[in-house]
Structures are given as C-alpha cells and as structure tokens.
Amino acid sequence: MHLPDYLEARTRDKRSYNRIHFQLDDSIEKKYTGKKYFVKTYGCQMNEHDSENICAMLEAMGFSPVDDYLDADLVLLNTCSIRENAHNKAFGMLGRLKHLKVQKKDLIIGLCGCMAQEKSVCDEILKDYKFVNFVLGTHNLYQLPEIIDKAVEEDKQQIEVFSREGDLVEGLPVIRANSCKAYVNIIYGCDKFCTYCIVPYTRGRERSRKKEDILEEVKELIKDGYKEVTLLGQNVNAYGKDLYEDYNMGDLLEDIAKLDIPRIRFMTSHPWDFTDKMIEVIGKYPNIMPSVHLPVQSGSSRILKLMGRRYTRESYLELFHKIKDTVPGVCISTDIIVGFPGEEEEDFLETMSLVEECQFDNAFTFIFSQREGTPACKLKDNTTLKEKEDRLQRLNEVVNRIFLEKNKQLEGKVLKVLVEGTSEKKDMYFGYSETNKLINFTSEKDLLCGDIVSVEITSAKTWSLDGKCV
C-alpha cells in the first residue's frame, strides 16, 4: 500500500525522468474477456483523455464497455478534486455503488484521478469504504491492469498512490471518444501553485513530453483521418522549459502547424508564460484556431496577488489586447472565481468592469471552493456564501448578456464548421466553428463526421448558434 502525502507532493526539484514504454503483461492480456466495464469521468480534458487511455487498457485486458453502470462487472471513477462539488459527486456515486455491491458481490470498484492523490480521501476510503477494491493515483495510471488483477487475485483492497511523479510513460493504448478530434498531451503537472488550486499537488511537477513523441502522435492521427488536435496541459505555455534550452510552446505550435492537420487547438494557457512568439505563430498559421482560453480569475490586482497569479489587471489587459490585435478574428474565453477570501465588493466590481472591457466569448465562472492543503484555505474569509452566490449571479448575468450580443453579431455570417455528428433531435448536424462556437445546422447534403463545411448563421442563442449549410 502507498498513501499520498502533500508535503512530498509539493516538492519541486530538477531531477530528470525515465521515459518508459507501456507494456501489458502477457498474463493479463484478455484475461477478463466476457466481463463488462463502466468508467465515469469527472473534471477536465486531461481526465477525459486519461479515461481514453483507461478504456483502452481495460479492453486490452478483455473487458468490454457498457452504457449503464448497473450492468458492469467493473466500475471505475476517474475523479476530480478541483472544487468541493466534484468531490461530493464522486462520493455520491460511491454511495450508490455500495448498494449495488450488496447485490453483486463480485463487482469490482475502483477510484483513480485527482481525488486519489488526496490523503484525506484515501484515509476515508480505508476507513469507511472497504468495498472499494482499489485506489490508483495519477502518477501510476499505467499500472491499472496489474492493480485490478492484484485486487481480484488477492481479494484485498489495494491503495497505490504515489506522492511524487514517477516515470513519463509513452505508448499507452488509447480508444478515442471522438473520431475526428483528438486530445494530445504535451505537458503534465503544474508548477504555478495558484494559492487556491489543488492541481500542483494532484498532478505533480511540470514535465514535458519530447517534441518527437508529440509530433509522431500527431502524424499518426493525421494518417488515421483526424481533423483536429487539442494540445493538452494544465499550463501548455510552460511546454519545453523543463526539457529544452531553446525550444518552447511557440516552436512546438509552429512545428505542428506545418503538418497537414486542418485544426490545432491548445489548452490551458496561463497568462504568465504567453510569449510574443506564441502570439505571432497563432496569428501566422491558419490551421492554428483563433481561439484562446486565457483564465483571468479576477479583475482586481489585489486579489490576483493573493491568488498568486503573477500578473496584474493591467498586465492581463495588455496581453489580452496584444492577442486581439495580432490574431485576426480571435475569440478569447476565460475562467473567473468569485468570493476568493478577502474579495470585497470593490474587487468584485473590478472583475465586472474587466469583463465589460474584454467582452469574452465564453467564461466559466465559479465560487471559490476551499481545497484542503492549499494556502488559500488558511486565509480569512468574511464574505458569506449568500453574498458569493449573489456575486456569481450578477457576474453570470453580464457574461451571458455579452455571449448573446457577440453571437448576434454572427447572424448572416458564414463560418467554417467541423462536422461532429447529428444533434439529439437527429434533424440537425452539430459542430464547432474555428473560434470554438457550437453550431447546430441543417444540410441538404449528407455529411460525415470530420467534414469541414460552410454554415450560414441564421439565429443566435446564448451558448450556441443555429445555421444552414451553404
């Protein structure tokens, strides 16, 4: 058994990593043929992509997927720790699984992802959730097959969570959820330590994949017919810093843009490492989508300082306008936290005025959530939850009004859309524009997932656009 420890998880040093190649043990390959699995994914794109690796590892073991967890022989929760409600949802699901296990004694239940890295979660599982067969951390996800097998063979709870990042694993199998768009990890971990955030503890130090491995993966995806790649990292702008003297995110973007892939996206960018070279490259290559997610978190320099974000309101705005001025037609989206400890009404009003100035195309807004072990957890907080909810509501009214106004400006315009499929009602197709707007549209011609078509926008809603293929 290995339990995580925050003090260790916080450590950063310059040691180098072994790069190992995933290999499934012959003795486990197809051993579980006939058994069914269900993976429930919480959290960010990183987790979604990890789940694509998880599914492929499980299928290599012989498991096949089911749509309803009630039909599964193995249920795995790939969890997220970012806010309390993500945490509560996973524990709610564990509660339901407890009941299921009463009827299905052989059900295998596992938990992995960011919550596994929290010592309090592991302690709770050890004490009160004895029916959970295994817990696996983010740093050793590649050991999933052997840990499942061990849990089954020994019939004993397995908790294998390492506090420190280990080897960098290449060659994990993958079953992609989408057949025309793919996620590609470029950097793992985060060294920013924003004071509210748990990710640097759950995902470890920033570690870049080698550029050759990334380029190879993108070339394979092109061969397989993928039309869009999203380069993933908690902070993609830090790409290369731990690995190369003079090769960074701007260079990587440029090298990928020179490949024959129609659409490149990347996320997330911390404003801190956003270089002029990156902005120039994004503006120069038409296959790098003019869509940047640039989380601001707050419009008050005082709060930004308390958050440890390393930029001020003014320097954020300077970067924002530089990107807008250099990349034609770029859309910028953001994340905002309200109710950070010590946020006064006047700080909040600064966030509101920044939102009015930036006119974001999309914004994910959250109420601050205390994460155990982070520095912000110890800050004095005099604002009531009711006041915070009120701020969130006022903010949402403004951002939603702006989304609708910006979408209205697109009525009558023709946008390029990557077709993903038919919408729930089946009478419409859906896909995303270059600027990452969701578009539902009709077409007289039959279209396939992966087609890139021109769509005239007929009507705008707050979160989507309707149109017709022209």
Residues that bind ligand SAH (CB under 6 A): 82-83, 196-197, 234-235, 268, 270, 295, 297, 335, 337, 366, 368-369, 371
Q: Are 77 and 90 in contact (CB under 8 A)?
A: yes
From the list ligand F3S, ligand SAH, ligand SF4, none, which binds 46 (C-beta under 5 to 8 Å, kind-based)?
Answer: ligand F3S
User: What one-character-per-residue DSSP string does 122-159 give?
Assistant: HHHHHHH-TT--EEE-STTGGGHHHHHHHHHHHTS-EE
Is residue 199 a contact residue for ligand SF4 (CB under 6 A)? yes
47 binds, among ligand F3S, ligand SAH, ligand SF4, none (CB under 5 to 8 A by kind): ligand F3S
Closest distance of CB 215 from ligand SAH, Å: 24
SS3 455: strand
Please tell me the count of residues contacting ligand F3S according to CB under 6 A: 13
The verdict on 161 binding ligand F3S (CB under 6 A) reads: no
Distance in angstroms (rounded) separating the CA atoms of residues 87 and 66? 24
Give the nearer residue to ligand SF4 in terms of CB position, either 205 or 270: 270
What one-character-per-residue DSSP string does 291-313 give? EEE---B-S-HHHHHHHT-S--H
**Cβ at position 203, least distance to ligand F3S in Å:** 5
Candidates 62-70, 191-199, 222-230, 277-285; binding stretch for ligand SF4 (CB under 6 A): 191-199
The residue from 203, 205, 388, 406 that contacts ligand F3S (CB under 6 A) is 203
Residue of the chain from 82, 231, 282, 447 that contacts ligand F3S (CB under 6 A): 82
Gyration radius of the chain's alpha carbons: 23
Alpha carbon dihedral 23, 26, 30, 32, in 10-degree steps, equals -100
Burial class (CB in 10 A: 0-12, 13-18, 19+), 400: middle
Cβ pair 372, 363 in contact under 8 A: no
Crossing angle for the helix pair 144-154 and 45-60, nearest 10 degrees? 60
Tokens of 82: 């970012």
- String marking each residue 213-252 x if it binds ligand SF4 according to CB under 6 A: ---------------------xx-----------------
Our CB check for ligand SAH shows the closer of 341 and 467 to be 341
Nearer to ligand SAH, 143 or 297 (CB): 297
Do residues 367 and 343 touch, judged by C-beta distance below 8 A?
Answer: no
Question: Per CB under 6 A, which region of 40-48, 150-158, 446-454, 460-468 contacts ligand F3S?
Answer: 40-48
Handedness of CA 120, 122, 127, 132 (dihedral sign): positive
Site for ligand SF4 in 257-276 (CB under 6 A): 270
* Beta carbon of residue 274, minimum distance to ligand SF4 (angstroms, whole number): 12
Q: List the single partner that 193 binds among ligand SF4, ligand SAH, ligand F3S, none, CB under 5 to 8 Å by kind.
A: ligand SF4
Segment interacting with ligand SF4 (CB under 6 A) among 91-99, 171-179, 186-194, 355-363: 186-194
3-state percent helix, strand, coil for the chain, nearest multiple of 5: 40, 20, 40
- CA–CA separation, 228 vs 196, rounded Å? 32
**Minimum CB separation from ligand SF4 for residue 189, in Å?**
9
What span, in angstroms and rounded, lies between the C-alpha atoms of 387 and 389? 5
Pick 206 or 420: Cβ nearer ligand SAH:
206
Q: CA dihedral in degrees (297, 302, 307, 309; nearest 10)?
A: 70
Q: Which is nearer to ligand F3S, 160 or 347 (CB)?
A: 160
Tokens 């077709």 locate to 419
Candidates 199, 252, 289, 296: give the one binding ligand F3S (CB under 6 A). Answer: 199
Residue 267 makes contact with ligand F3S by CB under 6 A: no
Q: How far apart are CA 386 and CA 169, in angstroms?
A: 45
Which residues are CB-neighbours of 185 under 8 A, at least 6 positions away?
A: 46, 49, 209, 232, 233
Query: Taking CB under 6 A as the rule, does residue 194 contact ligand SF4?
Result: yes
DSSP 121: H
Q: How far is the CB of 380 from ligand SAH (least distance, A)?
A: 16
Check binding of 80 to ligand F3S (CB under 6 A).
yes
> From CA 4, how far away is CA 9, in angstroms rounded?
8
Binding partner of 181, given ligand F3S, ligand SAH, ligand SF4, none, CB within 5-8 angstroms per partner class: none
Near ligand F3S by CB under 6 A: residue from 44, 109, 332, 418 = 44
From residue 3, how far is each of 113, 121, 163 by CA, in Å?
A: 14, 10, 8
81 binds ligand F3S (CB under 6 A): yes
- Under the binding rule (CB under 6 A), the answer on residue 293 touching ligand SF4 is no
- The 112-141 site mask, x for binding ligand F3S (CB under 6 A), equals -xx---------------------------
Task: Give contact residues for ligand SF4 (rule: CB under 6 A).
Answer: 190, 192-194, 197, 199-200, 234-235, 270
Task: Give contact residues for ligand F3S (rule: CB under 6 A).
Answer: 43-44, 46-47, 80-82, 113-114, 198-199, 202-203
